[in-house]
Amino acid sequence: MTTLKARSRTSGKANALRREGLVPAVIYGPTVDSTPIVIDRKNLRSLFAKITRSSRIDLSIKDGKKAKKLDVFIKAIQYDAITDEPIHVDFYHPDSGHPLKLHIPIKIVGESPGVKEGGVLNVLFRTVRVHGLPKDIPALITIDIGDLGQGEAIRVRDLDFGEVKPLLAPERALVTIVAPRRAEEVPVAAEEELEAVEEEAAAEEGPVGGETTAEETGAKSSKED
């Protein structure tokens, strides 16, 4: 896990903290009370450069002379509309014994023979929603297209998700190589795939087995000034 340092926040206006180069944040989850903290903006930028939204983070929180560590996921990030700098972050601390649902980013690697022959790479999904224990959630799903020819696809069933379960049908195509003459059909195909996924996600709403998930917990972050 990537480590991030923070300190507890007991007072101070959010805007004043930001002028000091600090970013207000909050931690919450099923086993912790909502806890306001602050993080150095430079450390936060460095963190964002090397993680994904599904990466687990080892958050080290200093409170006076005391310190504690929590493993967390990033739940939400607020950005300044003009500077695009982060101005607030919500961190979620999961119950380690209960599974949760998260969207895992997809990374495409390799050079497709089908593309070299003039085909078009059609990426139908940028993320895959999975269900599993926090310790088993991957930061990335890597798809190697090095052997993919024209008219071929890589489907959910073709990938190893380890200990987590993908919440997409096994036959769902994630990437395809489309022949040049069908290039104009790519947006339509992608739209149909995404509509199908939204329908599947709606049908699967709610935690599996009645367990609490990061996306469906009732915990709420504190409001900023």
Among 43, 31, 44, which Cα is nearest to 93's?
31
Distances (CA, A) of 184 to 25, 91, 115, 179, 180: 45, 42, 15, 10, 8
- pLDDT-based confidence at residue 168 (cuts at 50, 70, 90): very high
What is the maximal distance between C-alpha atoms in the chain? 67
**pLDDT reading at 219 higher than 50:** no
Quote the CA–CA distance of 157 and 175 in Å, as a whole number. Answer: 12
Average pLDDT, integer, range 129-148: 96
- pLDDT-based confidence at residue 65 (cuts at 50, 70, 90): confident
Among 89, 117, 73, which Cα is nearest to 214's?
73
**pLDDT reading at 208 higher than 80:** no
- pLDDT-based confidence at residue 102 (cuts at 50, 70, 90): very high
Residue 185 pLDDT: 52
The reply to whether the predicted model has a pTM over 0.75 is no
For the sheet with 120-123, list strands across it. Answer: 120-123, 173-178, 153-155
Q: Domains plus CATH for the chain?
A: 2-92 (2.40.240.10), 100-202 (2.170.120.20)
Residue 197 pLDDT: 52
- pLDDT-based confidence at residue 218 (cuts at 50, 70, 90): very low
- pLDDT-based confidence at residue 157 (cuts at 50, 70, 90): very high
**pLDDT reading at 119 higher than 60:** yes
Q: Identify residue 222 by its one-letter amino acid code.
A: S
As a whole-number percent, the residues of the chain with pLDDT over 90 amount to 71
Residue 199 pLDDT: 53
- pLDDT-based confidence at residue 221 (cuts at 50, 70, 90): very low
